[in-house]
Amino acid sequence: MSLRLGDTAPDFEQESTEGTIRFHEWLGDSWGILFSHPADFTPVCTTELGLTAKLKDEFAKRNIKAIALSVDPVEDHKQWIDDINDTQGCTVNFPIIADQDRKVSELYDMIHPNADATATVRSLFVIDSDKKVRLTITYPASTGRNFNEVLRAVDSLQMTDNHKVATPGNWEKGDDVVIVPTLQDEGEIQERFPKGYKAVRPYLRMTPDPTANWSGE
């Protein structure tokens, strides 16, 4: 059965390019992004892992640890990292799990037989600090992931965890957000959103991003 939003991310112990990973212990109190690759020494995966390495500072701002996976062995991963660093102008700075026995792939339903019976598809899981699955994205092997979208989605998740808002379509950090319909108490609204709001419709109330800097003037 595939994982659903809100499920606890399965724990596992598996070898990686940075030694044995005990997943929940490795995550600690961080958020995590676990993402799979069809195989080592493949072109699209090479670009994705390069992008991930270059985004280390952006992940750190959001308290995120990244970890990749493919079904090839550790030694292949290590040789592949040399290629990634050379061709993508980066330094891979996160572990790559060696899932030769498909243990993690099966736990996370990363192998889709109708797409490929042996290789993982491009699955990605955002896991919060409580070890809950908060977002899943699955692409076919031919389509590289958009990591700007992953960061955008994490920004939305982390903000909406702390404020009674939702983010509209195409939202980017700093854009106006939606006050959730369940919040009706006007006093609480004024306290939570001192910048005010615009009621486009009774159910559609827009307010400035509550995490953006504001002087109060």
Q: Which residues are catalytic?
A: 45
8 A C-beta contact, residue 133 and residue 126: yes
DSSP reduced 3-state for 53: helix
Torsion angle in degrees (nearest 10) through CA of 92, 73, 145, 87: 50
Report CA 87 to chain centroid distance, whole Å.
Answer: 24
Residues 6+ apart with CB under 8 A from 149: none
DSSP reduced 3-state for 154: helix
Q: What is the DSSP letter of 98?
A: E
Distance in angstroms (rounded) separating the CA atoms of residues 27 and 34: 11
Residues 6+ apart with CB under 8 A from 31: 62, 63, 64, 65, 126, 127, 128, 129, 154, 158
Distance in angstroms (rounded) separating the CA atoms of residues 91 and 82: 9
